[in-house]
Structure 1
């Protein structure tokens, strides 16, 4: 999956920390494309991204420090009112629809001043398939299969804080999945790790710069990770407004600046120690 030419990327900070943009699409996508087009080109080449085929329903930033001792996941509300290059102010989730992976990455990089090293995209069908492939995920004592899990993470209208509560649900689900994966020693067992990576590879599209061996090496490097070392946060918000007849989320740029700086400089642990990190959202859900 192509994203942005190297010369258009923000300058890389020295070190081996990584920032991923994780995107969930609100459409059924063709295999290996991350877009709604159902045609796949000959000889296994993915179909080209098609404007308007899908919007991003979920967006998270994943930062992994150089020593692979922790991970930080920051949710970006889909209704965030942001500047989309070439289109003016709009909801964040429109960027993928208008310009595909490249515009999505550019928009988030402009918003956060972070260099996005890699992109991973999954759609509804892939999410259901992956959940079923790991045997379902236990959330609050109930094991959810793929269909129930999708309903759980996509619920919004019936929740008191709408988009923000949905972020909490998504993080709660992801925390449960990580606990399940880490408690079973999947990352430290070559056989189990291969099974997990095969399941992920079947349904997740990644950028051209991330090879299968890169993914395997990264997963193996995280084998000592404990679920308590995975931090869940939300991009700070001011509140919600109605703009042009649509409800939007207004981000708090000033409050977010220390977080983006810490992620950029591989200093999230220090930010947390100082008590300056945004709230942990993965525990309490509506």
Structure 2
């Protein structure tokens, strides 16, 4: 799916791509879901790729039956609106090697804004929960079905982007691309056959996978099975897990990018037009993505100047409903992200301040909360969590301007209360502000904010609290540093 997006960018480097550029932009679905997020520094670019599990097109319509037959993934009743593929592509501004971070879809994380009343879940579910919440709000409004679909998708995009930002420690998302399952299939149709390589024979009736050891050429239908396979019914000793699918996706992208570069696809008008048509039908990008300006950065990715990494999990487990989830160490994940692509430094706890002395306020001050992000309901969530710690809930509001960092502001004599609140919020910054009333502190929550576990457990989650997780009896502990593969060829994988 990343290769499909990158191929669109590389079109801009060819004469044919230049002449078709305005036609491409005019036909793409565009979105304002990113809001006013700050941009990456030093010319770096981060692009979030979201691959939807939906068996529908970008407008929410059913697909032709022959496509369902080829996909081997059910029909319009199957799938859903979860973001089953999540990759963050980091392209350094200095032209050095790019990095693609695969985020396992079942990572059990906090979901900002608690869409549909669910504050914790699989990271892939943020899109679907927000989509469903918006659909319920629009159910009785009538109007055009296509317009409602796009509003619902826009809500899903915002929720998924904010969830990924928070989980990865406040990384900046400069752009995003949303790809449906059928778009992946259609791109594979344009460039088939695709060469892949496997370490052993493998077969799976669920996904339709049936591959032999070694290099082989596959068609579009087989490509879908290749990236979806996560079990083997004939060779159980291979012990497939959902994480193996992440590596399959990385290997496919590397193989396809290599093939596009070697096979002359970028000088083939028929294939280029086919890719353009797919982009218009079943993909969406943020409105701020300028393909022409980004083409220079993306040009060398098909040459292999990219590494693929799967972010680590601690173990497989189950939530209180019995669903399979990945138990993650958020600090470990965020440290890995900082090591791989940079990003905000971890918050440090503010020093405790003695409440003794003249002019100090009571620790339990009134707390006003301002939501400086696009996460719906975040101010109320933070206010509720602080109220559970004994603070008086003040006003909650949403600022039209988004900010990246979280700050606790205080007025005259309010430094003690501000420091205490800042410590509860994970050691965020405190600043003096003469507009804050006496007896109050004002929390402005930024896009990099992650609800501390201790605070979430005291009332920051959904009604009834967050589900607990228990170890499963499945594969052994998978705790490991981030691992992946390098681009530039056709890697052999499980």
Q: TM-score range by the shorter chain?
A: 0.7 to 0.9
Is 1:125 aligned with 2:155? no
TM-score (norm 1): 0.78
Determine if contact 1:20/1:118 at 8 Å carries over to the other structure.
yes
- TM-aligned CA distance change 1:197 to 1:151, over 3 Å: closer
Q: Secondary structure at the residue paired with 1:206?
A: strand
- 1:136 & 1:205 partners in 2: Cα distance? 26
- 1:71 & 1:195 partners in 2: Cα distance? 27
Shift of 1:181: 1.9
TM-score (norm 2): 0.47
- Please, what is the CA RMSD of the aligned residues? 2.9
Is 1:261 aligned with 2:318? no
Alignment correspondent of 1:4: 34
Determine if contact 1:68/1:222 at 8 Å carries over to the other structure.
no
After superposition, the C-alpha distances for 1:51-100 in whole angstroms (9 at most, x for unaligned) are x9511111111101103343211111111101111121101111110121
- 1:71 & 1:125 partners in 2: Cα distance? 27
1:165 to 227, 233, 244: 244
- TM-aligned CA distance change 1:108 to 1:224, over 3 Å: closer
Q: Secondary structure at the residue paired with 1:121?
A: strand
Q: Secondary structure at the residue paired with 2:314?
A: strand
Shift of 1:23: 1.1
- 2:270 & 2:332 partners in 1: Cα distance? 41
- 1:193 & 1:231 partners in 2: Cα distance? 26
Is 1:175 aligned with 2:254? yes
Determine if contact 2:34/2:286 at 8 Å carries over to the other structure.
no
Is 1:97 aligned with 2:125? no
Determine if contact 1:131/1:145 at 8 Å carries over to the other structure.
yes
Q: Secondary structure at the residue paired with 1:139?
A: strand
- 1:190 & 1:67 partners in 2: Cα distance? 30
Q: Secondary structure at the residue paired with 2:483?
A: coil
Alignment correspondent of 2:327: 250
Determine if contact 1:118/1:207 at 8 Å carries over to the other structure.
yes
1:71 to 91, 98, 101: 98
Q: Secondary structure at the residue paired with 2:299?
A: coil
Range 256-265 or range 164-173, more displaced:
256-265
- 1:259 & 1:227 partners in 2: Cα distance? 25
1:155 to 204, 207, 229: 229
- 1:139 & 1:69 partners in 2: Cα distance? 26
- 1:226 & 1:54 partners in 2: Cα distance? 30
Determine if contact 2:98/2:306 at 8 Å carries over to the other structure.
yes
Alignment correspondent of 2:482: 278
- 1:37 & 1:119 partners in 2: Cα distance? 22
Alignment correspondent of 1:108: 164
Determine if contact 2:167/2:334 at 8 Å carries over to the other structure.
no
Determine if contact 2:40/2:174 at 8 Å carries over to the other structure.
no
1:20 to 38, 47, 71: 47
- 2:293 & 2:222 partners in 1: Cα distance? 32
| Structure of higher CA gyration radius | 2
Determine if contact 1:234/1:280 at 8 Å carries over to the other structure.
yes
